[in-house]
Each structure stands twice: as C-alpha cells, then as structure tokens.
C-alpha cells in the first residue's frame, strides 16, 4: 500500500472512531445522570456540617454501634447480659426470646441502607393530628429511612404522611392484624417488648400455639400476618437509655411512685439518633391540656382525654424534644 493510500485509509477511519467515542461518552453521561436503574439519593444534600448530629452534645455514651435489634449471638456470647427485666432488659425472658429469634430469618437492617449510604437521612412520623392536611407525603418518601409508629394507617393518608415505611415500631396492643395493608413488603416490623406477655404473644403467633388473652390492657390481634423475614425485636437497651439518660425516668420507681415509661414516639426518635446522620420529625405534639376533647391522631377518634391514665409523661417528653431541636440534633418538617 502506497503512502498516499495509507493516508486516505487512515483519514477515512477518523469519522468512525469519533462516532464511537462520542457514542461511548454519551452513554456514560446518561448512565451517570439520567439512568433510572439506581435509586437517587435526593436527601443527601441534608448531610452537611451544620446538620449532621453531634453525639457529644447529648453527653451520652453509646457503645453498641447502632445494633438495633436482638440476635442469637447476644445470648451465646453473653457480651452484655442484662441485669434488668423488661421493659429495660431481657433478664428472665431469655428462653422466650431464643424461641422467637430461632424463627426470625434475619437480625439486621436492609443491606442497601446498612452498607451503601455514606449519610443516612431519617424521618420519624408521629401520629399527631398536626400532620393532617400538611401535604408532606412526597417529601417524607424521599428520606432513606422512614420510621412509623404502632398501627398508624398509610392508605388514604398518603398525601400527608407518604407511603414509604422502613421501620414500624409496635407492641402487641398496637399491632395491625395485617401489616401488609399499611406497610411496604420489605418494611421491618419491630416489636418493642414492654412485658413478658408481649414476647409470649409473638411466640404464640410464630408457633401457632394456643392464644393467650390475659395480660394485655387491650386485646392484641389473635391472627397476625407479619412475615418472619420482616420481624425484628428491638433491644431493650434503647428503651432503657431513652428512659434513664434522655428522660431521666427512674428505672425502679419506689412503691409510692406511678411507673412512667417512654412513649413509642420518643423511643423512635432516640433510635433514629443512634442510627441516622440526619433526623427529622413530623406529626409530633399533643393539644394543650385544656383541650381534652381535641383529636390527638390524624386518624380515628381518640382525644387527649383517652390518655389520662397512661404511663407517660407527655410534658416531659415535649421538653426533651424541644431541647434536642435547640441543640440541632433534630428538626421538624414544616407544612407546605
């Protein structure tokens, strides 16, 4: 081939080479910015130096590295044998817990949240009437972790509360018979055991044993359709620290004192502070004490009067949440 022919051949290939280079670069561009194959992380902008939580401002000693749920290894290795009974420890409940955990197929958080996120953004959705007509649903769905409480419904309220649920904390009396109605298929159903009967209820469900009706302040579901892959049992360690360190509640009140326990809501906030880099709240707050007939939930007919005999100190919890907000550890989603 002559030199002239070689030059002609070379230059004839240039447009083809340029075409493939442009095509390849275009594919990279669209894969990186426009692909729908990966879920976007729309809330990562929240993770800046001004909003990422600083645990030292709470002056709490957290040594468990946010292992939220009980697992079989807790019993075999005996790293932290509990000196407290429920609701603040597992002393005396070990056998029932072993039976339950033997039926649970996993003990951790979803892998896509546990290992792949440099910054975890979380929102705790309370059940307060204040979230009604808020139009916060679309914003709520953008968080990495959405924590809901008890049997608060989602269907029919999506515009205000969203429809994404990562964790749902509950106890037997607040369990929904069919969790699939108001949760995602991969929602973790997190039992918060306050008493032995709570563990017995779950064991009976899992092993299809004779139902136990006594020991509950309200009849729990006798048929419960939660899947074993979804079930978790919250480590009572977190309820204990919520009570003793956050709310300054005595773990063993004297006989003259009425027992006081944290609400599921303040517990969920504490769990989020342990696990998440950014913690936002929506649907928190109760009516003023003089408004006994005001609704307290965005659903149902319950009023403040219905909580008169509860074992919770709502005023104290409100003060603690206010302090956490002032310290920049939590913030509230505002109505649009």
pLDDT tens by residue, 291-314: 777 888 999 888 877 766 678 888
pLDDT category at 46 given cuts 50, 70, 90 is low
Annotate 53-78 with b (16+ C-beta within 10 A) or e (fewer): beeeebeeeeeeeebbbbbeebbeee
Domain that includes residue 265, residue range: 43-332
Check whether residue 139 and residue 280 sit in a common domain: yes
Using alpha carbons, select from 14, 39, 78, 67 the residue that is nearest to residue 271: 67
Mention every residue, 6+ apart, whose C-beta is less than 8 A from residue 261.
Answer: 87, 194, 239, 243, 249, 311, 312
Is there a single domain that holds both residue 32 and residue 175? no
**183 and 305 part of one domain:** yes
Please give the model's pTM, rounded to 2 decimal places: 0.83
Q: What is the pLDDT of residues 168-207, one digit of tens each?
A: 999 999 999 999 999 999 999 999 999 999 999 999 999 9
- For the chain, helix (H) and strand (E) counts, in that order, are 10, 7
Sign of the Cα pseudo-torsion (244, 248, 253, 257, in order): negative
- Alpha helix positions (H), the chain: 3-33, 73-76, 94-103, 111-114, 137-140, 158-161, 196-207, 236-241, 264-275, 314-326
Number of domains in the chain: 2
Does 14 lie in the same domain as 159?
Answer: no
Residues 135 and 208 in one domain: yes
Residue of 314, 249, 327 lying closest to 285 (CA atoms): 314
Do 200 and 289 reside in the same domain of the chain? yes
Average pLDDT across the chain, whole number: 82
Q: What is the pLDDT of residue 115?
A: 77
Lowest mean pLDDT among 62-71, 153-162, 327-336: 62-71
CATH number (domain holding residue 305)? 3.90.1480.20
The answer to whether residues 282 and 156 belong to one domain is yes
Do 96 and 25 share a structural domain?
A: no
Q: In the prediction, which pLDDT does 312 show?
A: 84
Same domain, yes or no: 320 and 240: yes
Query: For residues 157 and 308, what is the distance between their CA atoms, to the nearest angstrom?
Result: 27
């Amino acid at each position: 081939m002559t030199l002239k022919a070689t030059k002609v051949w070379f230059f004839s290939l240039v447009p083809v080479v340029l075409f493939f280079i442009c095509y390849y670069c275009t594919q990279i561009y669209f894969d990186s910015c426009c692909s729908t194959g990966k879920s976007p992380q729309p809330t990562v902008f929240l993770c800046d130096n001004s909003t990422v939580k600083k645990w030292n401002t709470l002056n709490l000693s957290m040594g468990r590295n946010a292992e939220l749920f009980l697992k079989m290894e807790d019993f075999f290795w005996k790293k932290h044998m509990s000196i407290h009974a429920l609701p603040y420890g597992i002393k005396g409940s070990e056998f029932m817990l072993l039976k339950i955990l033997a039926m649970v197929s996993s003990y951790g958080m979803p892998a896509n949240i546990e290992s792949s996120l440099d910054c975890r953004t979380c929102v705790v959705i309370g059940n307060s009437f204040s979230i009604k007509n808020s139009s916060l649903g679309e914003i709520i769905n953008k968080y990495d972790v959405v924590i809901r409480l008890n049997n608060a419904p989602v269907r029919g309220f999506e515009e205000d509360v969203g429809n994404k649920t990562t964790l749902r904390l509950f106890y037997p009396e607040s369990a929904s018979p069919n969790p699939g109605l108001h949760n995602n298929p991969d929602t973790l159903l997190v039992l918060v055991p306050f008493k032995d009967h709570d563990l017995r209820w779950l064991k009976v469900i899992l092993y299809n044993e004779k139902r136990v009706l006594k020991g509950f302040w309200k009849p729990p579901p006798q048929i419960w359709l939660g899947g074993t892959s979804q079930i978790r049992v919250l480590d009572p360690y977190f309820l204990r620290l919520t009570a003793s360190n956050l709310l300054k509640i005595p773990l063993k009140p004297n006989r003259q004192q009425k027992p006081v326990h944290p609400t599921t809501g303040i517990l969920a906030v504490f769990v989020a502070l342990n696990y998440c880099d950014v913690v936002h709240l929506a649907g928190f707050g109760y009516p003023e004490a003089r408004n006994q007939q005001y609704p307290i939930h965005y659903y149902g007919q319950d009023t403040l009067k219905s909580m008169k005999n509860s074992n919770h100190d709502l005023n104290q919890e409100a003060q603690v949440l206010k302090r956490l907000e002032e310290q920049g550890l939590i913030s509230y989603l505002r109505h649009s």
